[in-house]
Amino acid sequence: MSELSERPVDAVVGLEVPHESAALHATGTALYTDDLVVRTKDCLHAHPVQAPHAHARVTALRAAPALAVPGVVRVLTAEDVPGVNDSGVRGDEPLFPSEVSYVGQAVCWVLGETAEAARLGAAAVEVDYEVLTSLVLVTEAIAAGSFQGGRPTVARGDVEHGLATSARVFRGVTEMAGQEHFYLETQCSLAHVDEAGQVFVQSSTQHPSETQEVVAHVLGLHAHHVTVQSLRMGGAFGGKEMQPHGYAAVAALGAVLTGRPVRVRLTRTQDLTMTGKRHGFHAGWTVGFDPDGRLQALDVTLTADGGWSLDLSEPVLARALCHVDNAYWIPHVRLHGRIVRTNKTSQTAFRGFGGPQGMLVIEDILGRCARPLGVDPLDLRRRNFYAEGQSTPYGQTVRHPERARLVWDQVVASGRVEERRPEIAAFNATHEHTKRGLAVTPVKFGIAFNFKAFNQAGALVHVYKDGSVLINHGGTEMGQGLHTKMLQVAATTLGVPLERIRLAPTRTDKVPNTSATAASSGADLNGAAVKHACLQIRSRLDELAAGREIAWEDLVREGYLGRVPLWAAGFYRTDGVEWDAARMQGHPFKYFVYGAAAAEVEVDGFTGAYRILRVDIVHDVGDSLSPLVDLGQIEGGFVQGAGWLTLEDLRWDESDGPTRGRLLTQAASTYKLPSLSEMPEVFHVSLLQGAHEDGAVYGSKAVGEPPLMLALSVREAIRSAVAAFGRDRDSVELPSPATPEAVFWAIERARAGATDEPVAHVAPGVG
């Protein structure tokens, strides 16, 4: 057991404690960025002028009419930018564009004494456009050769040979839609210039350091002139990793130019139409199996819809390519990736970060091929699991492959899967118009940033003379319970009760150069840094105590009087991770997280509507740092994943009409996320026991993203139920999302006895 992972007896980590802000949440007293406005004197409000075209050149912009609107104070345009006019870090996202690249892009911003004045001012700004041709569909962009970023390939073995020697070969296309984050708190920043001339920005951001960097370059300042604080976020899910920067910059620019605090808070429709989403993907594939259904070869071209700018599309694509294998050994692989540039919002990080899209491809392949192969889908999946000593297509040895089998077998047992399958078959035999389906799917998800430098973190821990402890660390709180875990880590390391410790809001002047709280790595990285800081203080105090039984407060007082430093900076860098982005080979992940889910659905043959009757999950979080928090992440991730795969339906205007490229589902009334009525009716989640992870803080594992992909079981269960409307041996193709309408048409095809076309039975090879 490593020193990092070793857990003392009587540890505070591992205890089931509520979220550290739960009582504040429940009483409405937890403050979010926009709640600070009422406490801010003379605050100005910003409103964007949004472009109505998918692609156009701005030929004229007349702000004067806005300035005539009562209460309008200023219109911010490109001319006002003292530094770099870009809201990202790649130079391809103009903050005030001269050419608009998607419907809804902000051309300029109006500042008003009230939100209403700013709104009316924005409506009065006159902008002339020269409309240019636009690309909306991925397929249009592919045809037009509109690509951006690198075109990486992950390869191993000899795919041609593997396919030629396969007993059965199938070809198909899998397409999947994106997903709106729909964090309940929309993007929000509040900036002012403080008494020391520092630009201080309160921002709902997962990546305060990068928000700081962008604010600084827009203002033409060095980083030390700008401080960003992320108090807490009302949800983020990746949507506040890069998206907040531009809004923070607008607020900061306004504050610098007017000398007054400026608030930027997007309305829901602005947020939906302006900010990036989960990438939709298009995958064309050819797969070969041996006579027993073992995967032999897989050739995939994965095309991500990047939207108008590159944003995080390249690392998202890399993670997608690294998760096409999911939990399965495939000897010969070629996974080719590319990113199209379309005239839509710039798609970005979203829980899973490409992993879900990659996994959907292989699960879709197995789901569609199982019946033509004559292999039970459960058997087909389990049969293909990695074994000890095998490695991923990108060359990383799969550590703990037995855990995939372990969680799978546990969920099959605890979910009574083998007993329920005949019950479901009996139900289906007696119900003409209602069918049930059950599926089990695995998850293997790699933890760490592919970009090596991001795998570092810092913390700052102060012990005051009275024995109270204050923690700062670089991670942000978005509801995932990171702060709760950090308090537990500090309490465990220092050996003091939780009540003695307070956690301060995340800000860039406390811990610099932080990484985004992303990639599920928040607790791994910051937990290790907090532990490192606490250990330094603890060991100094232990030395002072020299074996005496002495109360914490007394020891601390002695320490102060004895001139022992009672604060420490902690630092952590993940070892053992290496990634060659050019070759797409290496050891990018510190470890893998495993999980398995068994889902049962009931589908109404009249409408295609479905209910999730029961879900059983066994999931690996290592030795949990905070079981209530981890349970919440698993359940919440699962339901969010089920939303992506079934209900949530982003629709863009693909017509050639005047509103081409417009997001049609741009309000809560048209973009539907799961509500209470979509929750699994029976929902059993258990944590894999004895799952100590040697390489992480107190033996724990990351939890944020992997459970989302357990929801693939719902999609496969729907497929199984749809198949029951037909001859049960045909392949069922299911769009993603599998909305009731999509399911209804799939049922109609199954009833008609259609074998879904995209799985073409290619002539068998030598096999």
Partner 1 sequence: MAAPSIPSVTVNGRPLPLAGVSPHTTALDWLRGTGLTGAKEGCAEGECGACSVLVARPDGDGTRWTALNACLVPAAALDGQEVITAEGLGTPDDLHPVQHEMAVRGGSQCGYCTPGFVCSMAAEFYRSDRAADGPGAEVGPRERGPNGFDLTALSGNLCRCTGYRPIRDAAYALGSPSPDDHLAARVHRPAPAPAATRIEDRTGVFVRPRDLGEALALLGEHPGAQPVAGCTDWGVEVNLRGARAPYVVALDRIPQLREVAIPAGSDGTFELGAALSLSEVELALAGRVPLLAEVLALFASRLIRNAATIGGNLATASPIGDLAPALLALEATVVLVAADGDREVPIDELFTGYRRSQLRPGELIRSVRIPQPLAGHTAFHKIAKRRYDDISSVAVGFALDVVDGTVVRAKVGLGGVAATPVRARATEAALEGRPWSAATARAAAAVLRGEGTPLDDHRASAAYRAAMLEQSLLKLWSASGPSRAGGEASP
For the segment 433-452, give every residue that binds partner 1 (CB under 8 A). Answer: 433-434
- Applying the rule CB under 8 A, the residues between 182 and 201 that interact with partner 1 are 182-186
β-sheet bridge partners, residue 229: 202, 507
Residues with Cβ < 8 Å from 82, sequence gap 6 or more?
A: 218, 219, 220
83 contacts 91 by C-beta, under 8 angstroms = no
Q: Find the binder of partner 1 among 4, 11, 12, 19 (CB under 8 A).
A: 19
Q: Per-residue string for binding with partner 1, 90-119, x by CB under 8 A?
A: -----------------------------x
β-sheet bridge partners, residue 49: 108
Q: Per-residue string for binding with partner 1, 602-641, x by CB under 8 A?
A: --x-xx-x------------------xx-xx--xxxxxx-
CA distance 246 to 92: 12
Q: Find the binder of partner 1 among 160, 580, 681, 694 (CB under 8 A).
A: 681
Q: Find the binder of partner 1 among 3, 9, 10, 28 (CB under 8 A).
A: 28
**Cis amide bond preceding 737, omega within 30:** yes
**DSSP 8-state assignment for residue 334:** E
Nearer to partner 1, 409 or 604 (CB): 604
Pick the piece of the chain touching partner 1 (CB under 8 A) from 26-34, 127-135, 458-466, 755-763: 26-34
Pick the piece of the chain touching partner 1 (CB under 8 A) from 126-134, 266-274, 438-446, 545-553: 266-274
> Residue 417 CB, nearest distance to partner 1 (Å)?
21
Q: How many CB atoms lie within 10 A of CB 434?
A: 17
DSSP characters for 458-474?
A: EEEEEE-TTS-EEEEES
199 contacts 225 by C-beta, under 8 angstroms = yes
Torsional class of 63: left (φ above 0), alpha (ψ -120 to 50), beta (otherwise): alpha
387 makes contact with partner 1 (CB under 8 A): no
Nearer to partner 1, 144 or 184 (CB): 184
> Residue 628 CB, nearest distance to partner 1 (Å)?
5
Q: Per-residue string for binding with partner 1, 569-608, x by CB under 8 A?
A: -----------------------------------x-xx-
Taking alpha carbons only, the member of 313, 316, 413 closest to residue 357 is 316
- Applying the rule CB under 8 A, the residues between 39 and 78 that interact with partner 1 are 39
Pick the piece of the chain touching partner 1 (CB under 8 A) from 308-316, 377-385, 486-494, 662-670: 662-670
665 makes contact with partner 1 (CB under 8 A): yes
CA distance 117 to 232: 28
Taking alpha carbons only, the member of 546, 556, 605 closest to residue 723 is 605
386 makes contact with partner 1 (CB under 8 A): no
Nearer to partner 1, 479 or 527 (CB): 479
How many Cα atoms within 13 Å fall on the side-chain side of residue 257? Answer: 23
Q: Find the binder of partner 1 among 395, 467, 586, 740 (CB under 8 A).
A: 740
Return the residue matching tokens 């949004």. 50
Task: Count residues binding partner 1 (CB under 8 A).
Answer: 84
Return the residue matching tokens 């969010």. 640
350 makes contact with partner 1 (CB under 8 A): no
Q: Find the binder of partner 1 among 48, 234, 358, 377 (CB under 8 A).
A: 234
Q: Between the CA of residue 442 and those of 362, 381, 403, 413, 646, what are the distances in Å?
A: 11, 8, 10, 15, 18
The reply to whether 705 belongs to the active site is yes
Angle between helix axes 417-430 and 402-414 (nearest 10 degrees) is: 50
Amino acid at 247: Y
- Applying the rule CB under 8 A, the residues between 639 and 658 that interact with partner 1 are 639-640, 647, 649, 651
133 makes contact with partner 1 (CB under 8 A): no
Taking alpha carbons only, the member of 413, 335, 377, 325 closest to residue 584 is 335
235 makes contact with partner 1 (CB under 8 A): yes
Nearer to partner 1, 532 or 662 (CB): 662
Taking alpha carbons only, the member of 519, 123, 615 closest to residue 312 is 519
137 makes contact with partner 1 (CB under 8 A): no
Pick the piece of the chain touching partner 1 (CB under 8 A) from 155-163, 212-220, 386-394, 679-687: 679-687
> Residue 64 CB, nearest distance to partner 1 (Å)?
21
Nearer to partner 1, 213 or 271 (CB): 271
Nearer to partner 1, 317 or 478 (CB): 478
426 makes contact with partner 1 (CB under 8 A): no
Nearer to partner 1, 133 or 430 (CB): 430
22 makes contact with partner 1 (CB under 8 A): yes
E strands within 37-176? 44-50, 56-62, 72-76, 99-100, 106-112, 126-131, 153-156, 168-176
730 contacts 723 by C-beta, under 8 angstroms = yes
Helix (H, G, I), strand (E, B) or coil at 155: strand
139 makes contact with partner 1 (CB under 8 A): no
13 contacts 485 by C-beta, under 8 angstroms = yes
237 makes contact with partner 1 (CB under 8 A): yes
> Residue 640 CB, nearest distance to partner 1 (Å)?
7
Nearer to partner 1, 27 or 133 (CB): 27
674 makes contact with partner 1 (CB under 8 A): yes
CA distance 634 to 621: 10
Q: Over 60-72, what HEC string results? A: EEECHHHHCCCCE
175 makes contact with partner 1 (CB under 8 A): no
241 contacts 516 by C-beta, under 8 angstroms = yes
CA 252 to chain centre: 27
Q: Find the binder of partner 1 among 667, 751, 761, 764 (CB under 8 A).
A: 667
Nearer to partner 1, 522 or 570 (CB): 522
CA 268 to chain centre: 19
676 makes contact with partner 1 (CB under 8 A): yes
> Residue 337 CB, nearest distance to partner 1 (Å)?
29
247 makes contact with partner 1 (CB under 8 A): no
Pick the piece of the chain touching partner 1 (CB under 8 A) from 101-109, 302-310, 666-674, 718-726: 666-674
570 contacts 459 by C-beta, under 8 angstroms = yes
Return the residue matching tokens 């070869």. 297
> Residue 389 CB, nearest distance to partner 1 (Å)?
37
35 makes contact with partner 1 (CB under 8 A): yes
What phi, psi does 404 have (nearest 5°)? Answer: -60, -45
- Applying the rule CB under 8 A, the residues between 203 and 232 that interact with partner 1 are 232
754 makes contact with partner 1 (CB under 8 A): no
Q: Euclidean distance between the first and final Cα of the chain, in Å?
A: 46
Per the residue annotation, which of 93, 477, 705, 716 is the catalytic one? 705
Nearer to partner 1, 268 or 502 (CB): 268
Q: Find the binder of partner 1 among 2, 98, 397, 670 (CB under 8 A).
A: 670
Pick the piece of the chain touching partner 1 (CB under 8 A) from 125-133, 216-224, 670-678, 715-723: 670-678
Nearer to partner 1, 314 or 649 (CB): 649
Nearer to partner 1, 336 or 684 (CB): 684
Q: Is the dihedral of CA 18, 24, 27, 32 positive or negative?
A: negative
What phi, psi does 197 have (nearest 5°)? Answer: 80, 5
Pick the piece of the chain touching partner 1 (CB under 8 A) from 19-27, 100-108, 292-300, 384-392: 19-27
Taking alpha carbons only, the member of 217, 205, 206, 209 closest to residue 249 is 217
What phi, psi does 470 have (nearest 5°)? Answer: -120, 130
Burial tier of 513 (Cβ tally within 10 Å: 0-12, 13-18, 19+): middle
Structure tokens at 42: 């003379």
> Residue 633 CB, nearest distance to partner 1 (Å)?
8
Residues forming the active site: 705
